[in-house]
Structure 1
Amino acid sequence: MVYDFDKLWNYNKPADTEMAFLKLLPKALECGTDYHLQLLTQIARTQGLQQQFDRAHHTLDEVEKQLNTQAFPQAAIRYLLERGRVFNSSGNKKDAAPLFEQAWQLASETGNDFYAADALHMLAIVASPEQALEWNLKALHLAENSADTRTQKWLGSLYNNIGWTYFDMADYEKALALFEKCLQWNEKQHHPMEVFIARWSAGKTLRLLQRTEEALHTQTGLLKEMIDKNMEEDGFVFEELAECLLQLNRPEQAKKYFAAAYNLLSKDIWLQKNEPARLSRLQKLG
């Protein structure tokens, strides 16, 4: 029986996922070249998520050497997606975009709705806000109309992504509507972590809409949930609590949350690289 290795994914712990995938690797060839190559693409993805871009490209080079698109179209789609993701994560959107477009075209041609939606959502990530909206809406149309239940599971992510696209365009009313839709969808699917994130996103958007008391109420609720459920502390919640309190002219109360946010978020590699000014502000206000 062929094991569905995708069930081992923990996107919050890519190093652990890589180890789990590597344990499968010795027997992967027994399951066929297609299975082996697909597994390698996901090992590359774990490496990219660990910011180990050279290792990820090396792993994908091994896939490329053995790849036969006609014989193994799904492996080819996943190769294109992961090569694109590594480029994107390392800051090279220019080289990422054509790979995602190739993945979308190949997935569409072979009737693979799930990976077509994946490719469309990645095209949105590397695009300008206006183009991102177009790509995301294509993906949303696909997910809402696909008969494939796995493809339909993209809806939560797409509601979230479209919400952030509107947010980046400063269209906060539309962003809020999408985050609320995302929240409702994830509640129905019983996805507690995604529900938590959707509530946070809606709360942040409420703050930008100057509905600060509502925003503070939302973030306070998330803080209570973290404490009550003994969850890992979330620096982004602390950051929003601080911003709400500052916006409400309560700087002394905000200070401890800015400090707590900085303590956690300053360890985030992506923020260190891409948003040093944001971290500096947290440190200054804390």
Structure 2
Amino acid sequence: MIRVLLAALLCVAAEAADIDKLWDFDLPAESEQRFRTALVAAQREADVALQAELVTQIARARGLQGDMAAANAALDSLVPRLAELPPAVSVRYMLERGRLYQLATDIPKAKRWLRNALSHAQRHQLDYLAIDALQMLGYLETAKNAVGLQMQALNLALASQDPRAQNWLGVLYQNLGWTYRNQRDYPKALDFFRQAQAWHEQRGGGKPWLIARWSVAKVLRESGEPDKALLIQLDVERGWQKLGQTDGHVLEEIGENLLTLGRRAEARPYFVRALDVLSRDPWFARNEPARHARLAKLAQ
């Protein structure tokens, strides 16, 4: 669940740097093609630094598609030139090494690379990349330790004069909301989710705004206010419909609210639809077996 939400939210943070605007984390294969097209243009312009940065993102895209060998080979190709390239390239290289080790579930090595990326970014005042390293490290820590890293990232984004760093704020508010929600500290979770909602609303809404509203409503249900939560989730569902899309997590939450309110007959069609949508995501079936089983039962 969190993986899907973060993928959409990180698309906003991806505006932090020009090449990152090419990302759609839900569609890594399509993103890779955009990076490869940009790489051809950078080669034509003989922009060596840009070429290297694009290679780091091609590696990331290959990793997200499960091709770890190609991802590592792409990063390996940069090693002989790293010392001659701008610091941002080295930081991106370290970040992607860390992410690949995270995907391979080698957490100690992932942390080592990400800490190196953080140190290098801080040394060269690359705030937007330091924030990326901090939020990645936060994903790998216990909830207690994650709060400190996420607050460090948030404070850096708030203090930075770099718009690329400031553009991380929506994601960071959302991350802190999830951390506190997972600790069952619902008041703090609501506070950060509402800050995320306000931040995205000021920037035109869109998918990240809908996700923030979904998060607010989810915590309202979990903290004992399903009536308020239901009204928000129904409105969020209409928001997705206006975009021509269906979000299975929203359908699931509508069903859970109706069930909590004793309206089981009304809830069932939402569970049926949620199961249909979420079952198409291989990650969901593989990593959320308990939720999948619950949806299957409630959809009967």
Contact 1:44 1:60 (C-alpha < 8 Å) held by counterparts: yes
SS in 2 for 1:67: helix
* Counterparts of 1:90 and 1:274, CA distance in 2: 15
Identical positions, percent: 39
Could you list the structure 1 runs, at least 4 aligned residues long, displaced by more than 4 angstroms after superposition: none
- For 2:276 and 2:134, how far apart are their aligned partners in 1? 35
- Residue segments in structure 1 that go unaligned for 5+ positions in a row: none
Cα distance in 1, alignment partners of residues 166 and 19 from structure 2: 20
Partners of 1:238 and 1:261 within 8 A in 2? yes
Q: Does structure 2 retain, via aligned residues, the 8 Å contact 1:238–1:260?
A: yes
Q: Kindly report which structure 2 residues correspond to 1:60-79, keeping only aligned pairs within 5 A, or say none.
A: 60-68=75-83, 71-79=85-93
SS at match of 2:254: helix
Q: 1:230 to 1:136 in 2, by over 3 A?
A: closer
Aligned equivalent of 2:72, options 52, 57, 75: 57
Alpha-carbon separation, structure 2, partners of 1:246 and 1:53: 43
Does the 8 A contact of 1:15 with 1:50 survive in 2?
A: yes
Q: Is residue 12 of structure 1 aligned with residue 26 of structure 2?
A: yes
Correspondence for 1:248: 261
Query: Which sits farther off after the overlay, 90-99 or 110-119?
Result: 90-99
Counterpart of 1:169? 183
Deviation at 1:201, TM superposition (A): 0.5
Cross-structure match for 1:35: 50
Q: TM-score, normalised by structure 1?
A: 0.93
1:44 maps onto 2:48 in alignment: no
> Contact 1:156 / 1:182 at 8 angstroms: preserved in 2?
yes
Alignment map for 1:21-170 (pairs within 5 Å): 21-29=35-43, 30-68=45-83, 71-170=85-184
Q: What is residue 187 of structure 1 aligned with on the other side?
A: 201
Highest RCO, 1 vs 2 (Cα 8 Å, sep ≥ 6): 2
The code of the aligned residue for 2:257 comes to C
> Larger deviation: 268-277 or 173-182?
268-277
Distance 1:99 1:209 in 2: 38
Residues 169 and 87 (structure 1), Cα distance of their counterparts in 2 relative to 1, 3 Å cut: same
Q: Could you list the runs of 5+ residues in structure 2 that have no partner in the other structure?
A: 1-16
- Give me the whole-angstrom Cα distance separating, in 2, the residues matched to 1:187 and 1:86: 33
1:199 aligned partner: 213
Aligned residues: 282
- What letter corresponds to residue 59 of structure 1 in structure 2? A
- Measure the CA separation in 1 of the matches of 2:169 and 2:46: 31
